[in-house]
Amino acid sequence: MNRQPLVKPCLYLHAMMAIFITTYTLGAQASKLTPITMCVFDMLGNGGPAHQALQSYRTEAMKWGVELSFKSYTDERVAAEAFNSGVCDMVNLPDIRARSYNQFTGTMNSIGAIPSYAHMKMILATLSSTKAASLMREGDYEVLSIVPTGALYGFVIDRSIDSPAKMVGKKITVLDNAPEAQYLARQTGMTPVSSTISNVLQKFNNHAVDITGAPALAYAPMEMYKGLEPNGGIISWPFLQTSQQIIGRWKKLPEGFGQKSREHSQTKVDGMIALVEITEKAIPEKYWIPINSDLKNTWNETFRLNRIALREQGIYNGKALSLFRKVRCSVDPGLAECTAENRE
């Protein structure tokens, strides 16, 4: 009997079965995903860099069992308030705002604690390991990602303002949630000017203050050359390192989500730091204020006393400061702080 006429119907049947099985499988996988709303902070809105980066993060999150939906905010305070009130169960925030959810990772931007990107890479590699997982949880919250956003430098309207002694009486922007800047102002005799992330750089550009802090990533989009002209400059010794952190309610997330997220974020560190370095090199050389070794030592001691004071006040985490000191001393064992009696 000739069976040839049955070939095409059979192929068609097999194709339909394959489509059905694939569709069913994808549907079953989707049904297993945990829906999570994330409050996304991006000063530039939906088209900003944070939103763009989080699109690929959303794709990865599906592999870890979560289906993310986004709510956008251009003010980090509003995003944090929405997270606190339960509008969302994940949020991305600058580290200084994330400190209220995890003191350890919130100490990463302690003043002068992480002098270079080499130090930063070592610390982030440590914190993304499984051994550090317990440090990433504090109460109901877990740090799911830490991505470096560059060193914060001192921008001054007068190039002669390059040391703590020359900052006495000068006006400096101080964020309401930045105790290190407030303490530094008192420590050096500066006049603090209360500011928010949304207006801090505008005050510098308008010369309403003498000093502000900003990462290189802010230079071009925030037109900071306006504040630097005609006689301003950027102190080339970083005040601190900045980062963007993702915070989540770990009980709402699938088991293991946090560790997978941190390990994924670690793969982005080198690329992000490379981008930051390119941005720093793009700033005209005329603006950078060189700092000699003696002045670096002066700044380092000022920063160290600041950190110790804020540790004693319970603002900085002692374990975090100890880790950062060990990293600094592993890179440069000759530092005076490595043998100081009151070391961190």
Q: Is residue 11 part of a domain?
A: no
Structural domains of the chain, count? 1
Domain membership of residue 7 (yes or no) is no
85 or 8, which is more confident:
85
**Is residue 25 a part of any domain in this protein?**
no
CATH of the domain at 58: 3.40.190.170
* Segments forming the whole domain that contains residue 70: 33-338
Mean pLDDT of 296-305: 91
Q: Count of CB atoms within 10 A of residue 86's CB?
A: 9
Residue 97 lies in a domain: yes
- Rounded Cα distance between 302 and 291, Å, is 15
- Report pLDDT digits (tens) over 58-67: 999 999 999 9
The whole-number pLDDT of residue 12 equals 43
Instruction: Give the C-alpha separation, 302 to 160, whole Å.
Output: 18
Q: Which pLDDT value is given to residue 8? A: 43
- For residue range 134-176, list pLDDT tens digits in order: 999 999 999 999 999 999 999 999 999 999 999 999 999 998 7
What residues pair up with 192 in beta bridges, in sequence order? 172
Find the mean pLDDT for residues 204-218.
95
pLDDT for 31 beyond 80:
no
Inside any domain, residue 8: no
pLDDT at residue number 13: 41
H helical segments located in 32-132:
49-63, 76-84, 95-98, 103-106, 117-127
This prediction's pTM: 0.85
The answer as to whether 299 is a domain residue is yes
Is residue 304, in this structure, part of any structural domain at all? yes
Residue 292's pLDDT is what? 93
Per-residue pLDDT reduced to its tens digit, 258-273: 999 999 999 999 999 9
